[in-house]
Structure 1
Amino acid sequence: LGLLVNKVTITPERGTTVNISSTVGKRCEVCRREGRSNDCSTSLVFKDNSCSGHIIQADSGSLPLLDFNRKFTWNLNASAPKAFKIDFTKTGLRQIPPSERCPDGHSYTLQALQTTGKVAVGKYCAAGTISSAQILSLGSFSLEVPAGQKLQNGQFDVSVGEEIKSLAKITVTLPKGISSSELLSPNYPDSFPDDDVMEWYFQVPKKHKTGIQFMNLTQPSCRKKETAVEYHSKGRAALVLSLTEAQPRPNWGNFSMTLRNCEMERRRAGSPGLSLSRLNKCLCCTLLFSPVVCKVDLRKVEGLSLYIEKLRPASDCEMKINSVTKEKITVTSNSDLSFQDCLPEDVRVTALRVIECKQLKDCPKTPVRLTLPALPSCLPAPLSSVTWILRPPQHGTVELTSPNGPLKQSLPGQPCNDSVIVKLAEDDGIAIGNFCPQGAIKKIQIHTNMSVTVSSMGGRALNIQYSSLFNSYSERYIFTVSSKKDVPVLLATPGWPEGMKSYSTVSWIVSVPPKMKAHLMFANLSQPKCSNRHTNIRVQRVNRLEEDYSRREDEETESEIVVSEGFYLNMSNCMPERGHFSIISVVFSYSDPLLIIVLSVVAALLVTSVIVLAVVCPKKKLNHQVSIYNPSGTIFLPGHTNFPKTREDNESHVYTTIEDTLVYTHLLRKGKETGVYGESDPSYKPFTGHTVSQKPLVSEDSVISGPTETSWLSSCASQ
């Protein structure tokens, strides 16, 4: 038999590898001329490497091979954890099962390359809803055309994508009107990769709803974990479901869907893997929906108000309350609302509740739960924030705790990465601080009217619970802190980075794990120039008489100290003439001294992250002040004073200097009124001091000692 010989000239384009091979079982060979002889084989490779930012679909280099089936492959690589991204926006792709062919003869295949091997992300045809694909790290994109089929010209842009934590991320851009898109799991109809993750992101037109159905589901036998599907969307809580559960009803807006496989049981013969196809339906709301009527009744919750605000004046959203069109709606009782063409991004829904107690004896004896109000699902958007206004009785204190665990303050080096942020402020709007879960602050006590605002981060739905309790303490701020081994805790003065209020006091009651020491560092210290009194920083161990540390603004401050057990960290402010008093304290409980190096690094980063105003104040004579004396041995214990705030305690009666006799006559008169002292002796003389063993002649509940310098509780009593 004669041999059929075809001669062609091949010139690979830059960045192209041409691989010519014969079908298995055929006698066809491909030869390359080497000098005067031919080098023949069943396959031959021509290669010319380059790097380009585009996938150019052109036939110029392969026209001589038009009589053969051709496959064009682009190998793509991005440095992990980044993905490479292919943009299909100009044409769009449509996924098909591996056994099907595309009408125009152009079939695209997307593969991911993992350490366990290649994974077929999918096979696609031109003209569809898939607008982009991202593959983690390594992968390939290929195009197959049959013999005799000319290659259509085209171009896909390639770029570095996101940091993804899945095998791949496919973006689906749905068209307006009613449509459906079929999407298949990787390796379909074979199993989805073992213990792997795949993500689809759906871009939904305005005024459209989208729902998901699973078809042809095959469930694996799992050794570890479980198969699951997750839904994430702006303004809604993440939803995790099993594949056999009913999937969410159609909803507004863009969303992502993540498919998770388990660690499959492969030891038993015939054990199935995970595979499924899913049908996505996009329904146009203008065909299905009329104005949404929403009945809201808040009468069951005392002091609750609901606020609904239209955010975008140019949107088609129309809101009505009791048939009256409004841009802002306030609901305080029973109201009929209606919403026309309102999307979640068009409106903001917030709630406010006032909880007030006029007399301490009438206050609830058990904590009041600060939970989200139950609102009807007909509202166009979820609750974005809720505020509780807490008003304790005169001289009362609000005590705030979190049943879900301790809080931490949002500070440089200690950011809030959780889904919610808790903002505490006084009734005049002055901030106390921003807090979030997973910290060390177990309890917060505020001696004034205050607000607690809980808002979501990143548009997530709220799901929180806190507790408040009304008590009677005289300190303005008390924080109860539980430190843990080798975990730095950052504590900032109220209102940081702004300064504390004039004459205000703050105390942190810090517990230290047994057999450990606490390393206390002072960073970002800002001291004012005081016109009256002094600022003060004091440290005293619990149940100890002596102080471990005490500094005023006109004294040099040590940057760090070591405390051998639980302690009180107390601070008080003066009346600033200029500047302000603020500081961040770092607490680090440890058993190994070498770990202090870690804390030093944390503090150094903290200092460099914030601009600090340091003011050196001249030394000035202190006003005489008083402190609480406890016969059991503790000079002061935050939360246990018995001096109610009265007219004579406010700042209108403060003088530059007061004679000792006047100071102590004033206290004796006050003690007489409260029943602590008997009749005052008219021959009373100025106090001349006493030793520790000489206890004042007063009750053990409330005892007055002689004058001390910048006593912390004296500022507290004079608020």
Structure 2
Amino acid sequence: MVPDKTYVVDLSNERAMSLTIEPRSNKPSTDSVPGCFVCLDPWTCSTNLTLTPGSKHKISFLCDDLTRLWINAEKNITCTDHRYCHRKSYSLQVPGYILQLPVQLHDFSWKLLVPKDSLSLALVPAQKLQQHTHERACNASFSYLLASAVPGQDLRFGFFCSGGSIEQIRVKQNISVTLRTFAPSFQQEASRQNLTVSFIPHFKEDGVFTVTPDRKSKVYLRTPNWDRGLPSLTSVSWNISVPHDQVACLTFLKERTGVVCQTGRAFMIIQEQRSHAEEIFSLEEEVLPKPSFRHHSFWVNISNCSPVSGKQLDLLFWVSLTPRTTDLTVIILTVVGGGALLLFALGLIICFVKKNKKKKISKGPAVGIYNGNINTQMPMQPKKFQKRRKDNDSHVYAVIDDTMVYGHLLQDSSGSFLQPEVATYQPFQGPMATATLPTPPPLQGPPTRKADHR
């Protein structure tokens, strides 16, 4: 048998990628069926061929049934300096030189490696993803398998396919993203396999899913490692968005988790994102909440303890949306409350106006006489103050008679005014006449003897 066609696989620009063509593991070869061979040249053939990066390879096939072979490839995307990788993004797509081969692709894995405690990873699909569950299985020609690439950590986030409600998946540290095909029709659907990874600032949770539920169907979500249980001391969150015109119903599959903790605590937190109100449930002791309605976006966080062997933590829940309806009672109360507030404001305005009017009426006329001839110019401005003191009337003062102010106190019993005794002002008429002083009385003393001049 001579190869009839040669295919070029160009890995000259790749530095951390390997490609292997090998027999399918689910199709064992029998003695009656001849083997399938992959050849680098007409004379170097084998049933299993691995192509190394940095070179261009020409391959051919010696096989009657190429469906007995498949391709597995792996590529590393490594960040060693967080200052260089921060906010950088890469598109996770199967290269075209693999898609043109006559052998079906089985797995293409991207191993994403970041510096510990420095960076984390964010995966954003071109089309929103659906998590594979028993209640809603993926039926596309390919899915993404997300699993931890940290040595010693057994954490599988699950299978995800296009056509769901998951907009973003963030993971704490190293992760492996494997595109796995399930049908030859993947060749026609390859344009849908566009997943972008970005290096983002480090965060503490093992995984965070951003979810916007579909308005027409439920979105099913479950904890990682569904078959074996959430690993010890693992924390996962779901950021669930609720449109403003919708109400979300959160429902859990079972009443209790059945987890038994050896050390630590297993708990769940449901937090409203607008009010930050939290509901905390002990997954070891408490019953899970009954179906509840959420009017705003909310968080669901599940954190595991170190469970006793055989009592693992696994949770399945779903979210459905219904149109928001305004309660008639709420409308009536709002209208009544608004009317009462308006009436109260009008009452305050009327009272304020009446009070001001009363103040103006009660004041009456000012006591005093206005002298329009008085100069009111500012002092210390001699140039503007033209009149001399003898020419202006600023030194003339109006006199207010007491009877004008206290007249009601000067009336007698008959109603007539009591005239106070006051002196009458007389004009100056010159100096008064000199008055003769009275002669003081004579002094009383002993009689004086007259001298006799005779």
Which residue pairs with 1:303 in the alignment?
16
2:321 and 2:36 map into 1 onto residues whose CA distance is: 55
Q: CA RMSD in A?
A: 2.3
Q: What is the CA-CA distance between 1:576 and the residue it aligns to? A: 0.4
What secondary structure, in the 3-state scheme, does the structure 2 residue paired with 1:526 have?
Answer: coil
- Is residue 469 of structure 1 aligned with residue 182 of structure 2? no
2:106 and 2:167 map into 1 onto residues whose CA distance is: 25
Which residue pairs with 2:125 in the alignment?
402
Identity level (%): 25
- Is residue 591 of structure 1 aligned with residue 323 of structure 2? yes
2:279 and 2:245 map into 1 onto residues whose CA distance is: 18
Which residue pairs with 1:392 in the alignment?
114
1:389 and 1:399 map into 2 onto residues whose CA distance is: 13
Which residue pairs with 1:154 in the alignment?
none
For residue 437 of structure 1, the aligned residue among 162, 167, 171 is 162
Which residue pairs with 1:530 in the alignment?
261
Note the alpha carbon deviations across 1:183-239, whole angstroms, 9 max, x for none: xxxxxxxxxxxxxxxxxxxxxxxxxxxxxxxxxxxxxxxxxxxxxxxxxxxxxxxxx
2:276 and 2:183 map into 1 onto residues whose CA distance is: 49
Note the alpha carbon deviations across 1:538-566, whole angstroms, 9 max, x for none: 10011423214533411222232222200
2:145 and 2:100 map into 1 onto residues whose CA distance is: 28
Letter in 1 for 2:314: S
For residue 171 of structure 2, the aligned residue among 446, 449, 455 is 446
Closer, same or farther: CA 301–290 of 1 in aligned 2, 3 Å: closer
The number of residue pairs the alignment matches comes to 305
The correspondence of residues 260-659 of structure 1 with structure 2, limited to 5 A, is 290-311=3-24, 313=29, 314-321=33-40, 323-333=43-53, 334=55, 335-363=57-85, 365-375=87-97, 379-395=101-117, 396-403=119-126, 405-427=127-149, 428=153, 430-462=155-187, 463=190, 464-471=193-200, 472-524=202-254, 526-578=257-309, 579-591=311-323
1:449 and 1:470 map into 2 onto residues whose CA distance is: 11
**Preserved contact between residue 484 and residue 512 of structure 1 (Cα < 8 Å):** no
Q: What is the CA-CA distance between 1:496 and the residue it aligns to? A: 1.3
1:484 and 1:338 map into 2 onto residues whose CA distance is: 47
Q: What is the CA-CA distance between 1:290 and the residue it aligns to? A: 4.0
Letter in 1 for 2:10: D
Closer, same or farther: CA 329–549 of 1 in aligned 2, 3 Å: same
1:548 and 1:517 map into 2 onto residues whose CA distance is: 18
Q: What is the CA-CA distance between 1:536 and the residue it aligns to? A: 0.6
Closer, same or farther: CA 342–357 of 1 in aligned 2, 3 Å: farther
Note the alpha carbon deviations across 1:389-425, whole angstroms, 9 max, x for none: 111221221211111x110101122111222111111
Note the alpha carbon deviations across 1:602-644, whole angstroms, 9 max, x for none: xxxxxxxxxxxxxxxxxxxxxxxxxxxxxxxxxxxxxxxxxxx
Closer, same or farther: CA 377–290 of 1 in aligned 2, 3 Å: farther
**Preserved contact between residue 387 and residue 454 of structure 1 (Cα < 8 Å):** yes
Q: Could you state the TM-score of these two structures normalised by the residue count of structure 1?
A: 0.40
Closer, same or farther: CA 340–510 of 1 in aligned 2, 3 Å: same
The correspondence of residues 37-76 of structure 1 with structure 2, limited to 5 A, is none
Letter in 1 for 2:237: S
1:363 and 1:414 map into 2 onto residues whose CA distance is: 37
Higher helix share: 2
2:169 and 2:277 map into 1 onto residues whose CA distance is: 26
Q: Which has the higher contact order (CA 8 A, sep 6+)?
A: 2
The correspondence of residues 61-210 of structure 1 with structure 2, limited to 5 A, is none
Note the alpha carbon deviations across 1:157-180, whole angstroms, 9 max, x for none: xxxxxxxxxxxxxxxxxxxxxxxx
Which residue pairs with 1:631 in the alignment?
none
Letter in 2 for 1:577: V
Letter in 2 for 1:359: D
What secondary structure, in the 3-state scheme, does the structure 2 residue paired with 1:315 have?
Answer: coil
Letter in 2 for 1:504: T
What secondary structure, in the 3-state scheme, does the structure 2 residue paired with 1:385 have?
Answer: strand
1:485 and 1:321 map into 2 onto residues whose CA distance is: 53
Q: Name structure 1 gaps, 5 residues minimum.
A: 1-285, 594-719
Closer, same or farther: CA 589–551 of 1 in aligned 2, 3 Å: farther
Closer, same or farther: CA 344–486 of 1 in aligned 2, 3 Å: same
Note the alpha carbon deviations across 1:655-687, whole angstroms, 9 max, x for none: xxxxxxxxxxxxxxxxxxxxxxxxxxxxxxxxx
Closer, same or farther: CA 315–398 of 1 in aligned 2, 3 Å: farther
Letter in 1 for 2:23: K
Q: What is the CA-CA distance between 1:342 and the residue it aligns to? A: 4.8
**Preserved contact between residue 343 and residue 380 of structure 1 (Cα < 8 Å):** no
What secondary structure, in the 3-state scheme, does the structure 1 residue paired with 2:67 have?
Answer: helix
2:175 and 2:93 map into 1 onto residues whose CA distance is: 17
What secondary structure, in the 3-state scheme, does the structure 2 residue paired with 1:582 have?
Answer: coil
1:412 and 1:454 map into 2 onto residues whose CA distance is: 20
Greater displacement, 483-492 / 317-326: 317-326
Q: What is the CA-CA distance between 1:291 and the residue it aligns to? A: 4.2
**Preserved contact between residue 257 and residue 314 of structure 2 (Cα < 8 Å):** yes
Note the alpha carbon deviations across 1:77-110, whole angstroms, 9 max, x for none: xxxxxxxxxxxxxxxxxxxxxxxxxxxxxxxxxx
- Please tell me whether Structure 1 or Structure 2 has the larger radius of gyration of its CA atoms: 2
What secondary structure, in the 3-state scheme, does the structure 2 residue paired with 1:414 have?
Answer: coil
Letter in 2 for 1:566: S
Q: What is the CA-CA distance between 1:387 and the residue it aligns to? A: 1.1
What secondary structure, in the 3-state scheme, does the structure 2 residue paired with 1:514 have?
Answer: coil
Q: What is the CA-CA distance between 1:506 and the residue it aligns to? A: 0.5
Q: What is the CA-CA distance between 1:486 and the residue it aligns to? A: 4.4
Q: Could you state the TM-score of these two structures normalised by the residue count of structure 2?
A: 0.63
Note the alpha carbon deviations across 1:456-475, whole angstroms, 9 max, x for none: 22332341111001112221
Letter in 2 for 1:401: V
What secondary structure, in the 3-state scheme, does the structure 2 residue paired with 1:585 have?
Answer: strand
Note the alpha carbon deviations across 1:301-336, whole angstroms, 9 max, x for none: 332211100345443422223653322111123234
2:143 and 2:99 map into 1 onto residues whose CA distance is: 24
Note the alpha carbon deviations across 1:430-461, whole angstroms, 9 max, x for none: 42101111100000011121111112223323
Q: Name structure 2 gaps, 5 residues minimum.
A: 326-454
